[in-house]
Structure 1
Amino acid sequence: MPHFRTVSRHVLGLMMVCLSAILWSSAGFFVRILDMNTWAMVAWRSLFAFLSLILLLAWGGYLRRFSFQKDVGLKGVITAAVMAVSMFCYVAALKLTSVAGVMTIYATIPFFAMGLGWLIQKKVITKRALISAAVSLAGVSVMAASASGSGDTAGNALALIMTAGFGASIVMSGKWPEMNLPAVTALACALCGVFCFAMMPQGLPVPGLHDTLWLIAFALATQSMSYLLFMAGSRYVEPAQASLIAQADIVLGPLWVWVFFSEVPAHNTLLGGAITLVAVTGYLAGEYYLERKSARKT
């Protein structure tokens, strides 16, 4: 019975991480459809994400017994600060360079997660995970041949910071499981929003109803729910595995802007995305086979 519960939690973690990747991949779509200043876009997005998470905490009854020291604490503040930086850099990078370019850099997250997991948690890196990451890197290299030409230097630098921050937050979530993830994510949104409102140019109008609705959808899909699902799911899977699953959005991200905005990926982007997708699905298929084999033995 204990083993069955462990397997069930692992499957639940996989499902949550997969769903978060799908939601996360829609960021390029929202950035393209919202014609707004970057500071304003991130500020309002963060505000709506913060409010949605507070409502979630209230609905679940967490606010009645909430204790900042117990549910967040110094560890939560550190994690939230890292997440806030990553949240801002992601949108800013998408504004400055192509979706394919940002996704190319973001796909290196397994190396950040595995390295930090080994350094902080002394996690063992399996040969299968390392091979999958290497195959994924081959796909990234192919994609980079088309993305690097049009990618802006500042956008690529922001995408790199975002990737490092997201990889670090994965490891922190696993190392400090006592943190209240909705509260920590809400704090990250608040920190990001306050900073961006402070940096927002004077005189910018309040978004109209049309933009407000898109900003709410943007916040729910790519900031509050996606972060929450990923951080919760990554508690039940290895950091390398979680980051490999999350790479699905490097294929889906360019796909959405291709379908809705005719931002046609180059041939190298399609080929590199296919290679990475094979690496991810192959790894997941192997995990599923081993899990089923282990379950049959018990």
Structure 2
Amino acid sequence: MTEPSATSASFGANEKFGALLVFGSAFFWSFGGAIARFLHISDSWTIVFWRCLFAGLFLLAFMLVRDGPRGTVSLARGMGWPGIAVGLCFTTASTSFIIAISYTTIANVVLLGAGVPLFAALMSWVLFRERVSRFTWGAITAVIFGVAIMVSESLNGAVSPVGDALALLIPVVFAFATVITRRYPHVRMTPATCFGCFAASAIAASQSSDLSVTPGELALLFAFGAFNLGLGMALFVTGARLVPSALAALLGTAETVLAPVWVAIIHGEVPSGRTIVGGAFIFLALLAYLFNEFRGKRNGPGRAVRTPTP
């Protein structure tokens, strides 16, 4: 960990790098729908088990290579309650996502998931008095409106109170993880996400009726877990420490824009007109927000920051 720097240029570079990492996590997460299209496993708990197991193993291997065995143990011991809380948030979110889509429509899950920026901003303001600008509230509103346009054609599908409750739980716990990660930037959250994945896998193993899968399904589940979930988590918890909570959550909504693109390319499912319009609305809102934030940081007074190691 380097010494604090008092230059605005350093702060701008750190925040831009963090924004790039968070956007990268959304990029890898956005392949989830395309990968899930290939899976034909009836028991959702089986998918949760293998996906989270591979994600946990990926994160463990990542830490062993980067920090060595002793460093990995030291990081795990040092994550404290913030790390445990973030891990449990990811346990809840990753499990709820797979179970929720078996009860309710994916459209409902996506729409409720758009509440992450709003929940993160509210939690930051209520718990830590982190200032949220009017422009941020405007961008959050625009993003939610764009997602509403994208899914408006299928909101009349079959719904379930259980499924919708789980879908609503996802943005709440994810926003909480975002706020904690930002609030404790000195805590390395990679071991927390690793813990969360193994915890979700253990819970799924106790609930699944049959964990056996075919070799082809195992390969897909490996990609689903290691790269879609695991790598996405590693990028997110590293980048979210460097940017405001609302910005981190807002950048994460890029997953909603990119996901239908990959499905269209890989599976030939062309998005509807409303999906294209809504996605463009979200993308433009993100660009406007980033331009406003980075312009403000360049023109504003410098402030001391600490550059954490990834």
TM-score (norm 2): 0.86
Q: Alignment partner of 2:179: what SS? A: helix
Tell me whether 1:93 sits opposite 2:100 in the alignment: yes
Range 219-228 or range 182-191, more displaced:
219-228
Inter-partner Cα distance in structure 1 for 2:168 and 2:228? 18
Q: Which of these residues, 67, 70, 77, is aligned with residue 61 of structure 1?
A: 67
Inter-partner Cα distance in structure 2 for 1:75 and 1:18? 23
Q: Which of these residues, 183, 202, 210, is aligned with residue 175 of structure 1?
A: 183
Q: Output aligned runs, 1:94-243, within 5 Å.
A: 94-150=101-157, 152-153=159-160, 154-201=162-209, 204=210, 206-243=212-249
CA gap of 1:282–1:119, structure 2 versus 1, over 3 A, is same
Tell me whether 1:7 sits opposite 2:15 in the alignment: no
1:17 aligned residue: 22
Conserved 8 A contact 2:184-2:241: no
Tell me whether 1:287 sits opposite 2:298 in the alignment: no
CA gap of 1:96–1:28, structure 2 versus 1, over 3 A, is farther
Tell me whether 1:249 sits opposite 2:255 in the alignment: yes
Per the TM alignment, residue 174 of structure 1 is displaced from its structure 2 partner at its CA by: 1.5
CA offset digits 1:106-136 (Å, max 9, x no partner): 1121111101111222111111101111222
Conserved 8 A contact 2:12-2:298: no
Whichever residue aligns with residue 93 of structure 2, its letter is S
Whichever residue aligns with residue 173 of structure 2, its letter is G
Conserved 8 A contact 1:110-1:240: yes
Per the TM alignment, residue 51 of structure 1 is displaced from its structure 2 partner at its CA by: 1.0
Inter-partner Cα distance in structure 2 for 1:5 and 1:48? 36
Q: Alignment partner of 1:185: what SS? A: helix
CA offset digits 1:168-202 (Å, max 9, x no partner): 1001112223333111011000110000011001x
Inter-partner Cα distance in structure 2 for 1:190 and 1:197? 10
Whichever residue aligns with residue 164 of structure 1, its letter is V
CA offset digits 1:33-76 (Å, max 9, x no partner): 11112100110111111111111111122531424774222332
Inter-partner Cα distance in structure 2 for 1:115 and 1:77? 22
Inter-partner Cα distance in structure 2 for 1:292 and 1:122? 23
Task: Quote the RMSD (CA, aligned, Å).
Answer: 2.3
Per the TM alignment, residue 221 of structure 1 is displaced from its structure 2 partner at its CA by: 2.5
CA gap of 1:165–1:40, structure 2 versus 1, over 3 A, is same
CA offset digits 1:128-181 (Å, max 9, x no partner): 101111222222332342231125334333221111111110011122233331
Alignment: residue pair count? 294
Whichever residue aligns with residue 33 of structure 1, its letter is F
TM-score (norm 1): 0.90
Q: Alignment partner of 2:79: what SS? A: helix
Which of the two has greater helix per residue? 1
Q: Output aligned runs, 1:271-286, within 5 Å.
A: 271-286=277-292
Conserved 8 A contact 1:100-1:250: no
Inter-partner Cα distance in structure 2 for 1:19 and 1:245? 9
Per the TM alignment, residue 205 of structure 1 is displaced from its structure 2 partner at its CA by: 5.3
Tell me whether 1:76 sits opposite 2:83 in the alignment: yes
Q: Give unmatched runs, 5+ long, in structure 2.
A: 303-310
Per the TM alignment, residue 291 of structure 1 is displaced from its structure 2 partner at its CA by: 4.0
Whichever residue aligns with residue 171 of structure 2, its letter is T
Q: Give unmatched runs, 5+ long, in structure 1.
A: none
CA gap of 1:205–1:85, structure 2 versus 1, over 3 A, is closer
Inter-partner Cα distance in structure 2 for 1:217 and 1:238? 30
